[in-house]
Amino acid sequence: MGAVPAPARREAAPGPSVPRYRAQVTPGLLEPRLPGRRLRPLRAAPPGRPHHDPCAGFAERPHSARDGAAALPSTAGGAPRGRGRAMALLPALLLLLLPLAALAAAAVLLGLPGYDIPPGVNQPAKLRLVLTVLLGTAALGRILEKTGLCSQITFGRYVRQGRKLGLDPKLFIQDLQFNEVPVRVYQPKATSDGPRRGILFFHGGGWVFGSLDTYEKVCRYLSRESDSVVVSVQYRLAPEHKYPAAYEDCLNATQHFLQHLEHYGVDPARVIVCGDSAGGNLAAAVSQTLAGRSDFPKLRAQILIYPGLQALDFNLPSYQQNRGVPLLFRERAAFFALLYLNGDALHMQEVLEGSHIPPDLRLKYRKWVSPDNIPEEFKVRGVKPLGPTDFIAEVYETVKRFCEPNLCPLLAEDSVVHQLPESFILTCEYDVLRDDGLLYKKRLEDNGVRVTWYHLEDGFHGIISLYDYCGFSFPSGKRGLDSVVNFLKSL
């Protein structure tokens, strides 16, 4: 574990700067509920649905199915006849309401303050288009929720599903279950001279969104280009399933895979956990849990793509600089963390201000979570010193599990961190989670862990998840994805 850290790779943003674009939005448009209000409970799952199914309210689809589009919430199981008729008319309603949602989004983009497209970001015009679609989807979801047709979260999941892909000529793809957790396994068809690498992939989406289908193209690319067996894990989602459900599903699926590597032709010495955003959080937590375990093969590496690793400080330099940059806004980061932890977004404002952490714990963790540990080059876009906030004990009681490393891996003790495998960390300049990655990089290197760091100077949060997605791919995202493939090939 005392290997010398690999030199960091940094990539300059191509092309000239473009004028800064700003737009503002009505507060809370993108949130399913306002910060101080409880989420309306989602409709109960149909009888007999497995406990691990993260999409309660969606039409049931066997895990082995490989064709057919995702369905909107089913009304089977005794739903009122009138509601059934409304659901049958939902596609037509979507066509009627979509222009309205688009107009609402356009009005937001043209006339209200709040969102920021920085001058150095990759393809700002395309990012602006992505933001328009995001806002339109949120507005339409709100309309559907107010009409009682489906919740905004359910609609958001439906929209993000994307279209089903056909067969891949280079891959065997099958849907299975590992310890009752749905997974999708990608295996190269080409013959191999020996066992292949094995990759456990945990998708992003703030623990609330995301599925096997939404990351299908990313996983296919990783499997094809690195000649690896990829296992994509469909963990349970919040708010239906709160912490630690997602972590437990990822851990259980990983342990099952480690016990059956020979069946999938995987080399026990080359197993990697990988994830982006919330999935990066889960990959880091699983890696820490398995560190030092002698009853499973040792992980070869962890790949963390713009991971969220702490919920103590939402005012780090990257949060200040990128608070309004798509695809993840400062308020949304806290919203998702609270939804995963508690199933609601109560006390979001207090969490954003930092009133949720006692002074003694803040002092204890300052050695790991502090702007002082961020290199000065990442502060040139401006950082505002913030004074201390008043601690609110009642808020802490509702969020004190934020101090658990399985939820916030940046807070793990050195005795755990120094046992971690070789690591790859990808960060983006225009991302509120940038500093989480930088702080974890420092912790790993301080504990003698070899780290390969790849920084997208023109990247934004979620850029890799848009790879080959409905025409919304970004060249910078493709470079980031290729950096992951190159790291895998080196193992």
The pLDDT tens digits along the chain (491 residues) read 444 444 444 444 444 333 333 333 333 444 444 333 333 333 344 444 343 333 333 333 333 333 333 333 333 333 344 444 444 555 555 555 555 555 554 544 444 346 889 989 999 999 999 998 888 888 888 998 999 989 999 999 998 887 789 999 999 999 999 999 999 999 999 999 999 999 999 999 999 999 999 999 999 999 999 999 999 999 999 999 999 999 999 999 999 999 999 999 999 999 999 999 999 999 999 999 999 899 999 999 999 999 999 999 999 999 999 999 999 999 999 999 999 999 999 999 999 999 999 999 999 999 999 999 999 999 999 999 887 789 999 999 999 999 999 999 999 999 999 999 999 999 999 999 999 999 999 999 999 999 999 999 999 999 999 998 877 889 999 999 999 999 999 99
Quote the tokens at residue 24: 């503002």
Phi, psi torsion values for 466, nearest 5 degrees = -90, 5
What integer pLDDT is reported at residue 90 of this predicted model? 54
The angle that helices 278-290 and 245-259 make with each other, rounded to 10 degrees, is 60
What integer pLDDT is reported at residue 385 of this predicted model? 85
Please state the pTM of the whole predicted model: 0.81
- For 117, the 3-state DSSP assignment is strand
Would you say 201 and 104 are in contact if contact means Cβ atoms under 8 Å apart?
no
Quote the tokens at residue 383: 């950082």
Would you say 417 and 444 are in contact if contact means Cβ atoms under 8 Å apart?
yes
Dihedral angle computed from the Cα positions of residues 399, 405, 411 and 415, in that order, rounded to the nearest 10 degrees: 150
Amino acid (one-letter) located at 397: E
What integer pLDDT is reported at residue 135 of this predicted model? 86
How many beta carbons lie within 10 A of that of residue 377, not counting itself?
Answer: 7
Would you say 342 and 38 are in contact if contact means Cβ atoms under 8 Å apart?
no
| Nearest Cα residue to 419 out of 286, 291, 265, 315 | 291
| Nearest Cα residue to 485 out of 464, 458, 460, 461 | 464
What integer pLDDT is reported at residue 163 of this predicted model? 75
> Could you confirm whether 356 is annotated as catalytic?
no
- For 455, the 3-state DSSP assignment is strand
> Could you confirm whether 461 is annotated as catalytic?
yes
Dist CA 161 CA 153 (whole Å):
13
What integer pLDDT is reported at residue 225 of this predicted model? 98
Peptide bond into 239 cis (omega under 30): yes
Burial 169-191 (b: 16+ CB within 10 A, else e): eebebebeebbebbbbbbbbeee
The β-bridge relationship of strands 422-430 and 451-460 is: parallel
Would you say 259 and 252 are in contact if contact means Cβ atoms under 8 Å apart?
no
| Nearest Cα residue to 273 out of 241, 295, 247 | 247
Of the listed 213, 276, 431, 435, which one is catalytic? 431
Beta strands, E only, 391-460: 422-430, 451-460
The 3-class secondary structure across 266-325, one letter per residue, is: EEEEEEEEEEECHHHHHHHHHHHHHCCCCCCCCCCEEEEECCCCCCCCCCCHHHHHCCCC
Phi, psi torsion values for 255, nearest 5 degrees = -65, -40
What integer pLDDT is reported at residue 360 of this predicted model? 96
> Could you confirm whether 74 is annotated as catalytic?
no
Dist CA 480 CA 189 (whole Å):
25
Of the listed 277, 318, 423, 473, which one is catalytic? 277
Element (H, E) at 171: strand 171-178
Chain centroid to Cα 156, Å, comes to 15
Of the listed 461, 465, 473, 483, which one is catalytic? 461
What integer pLDDT is reported at residue 472 of this predicted model? 83
Phi, psi torsion values for 319, nearest 5 degrees = -70, -40
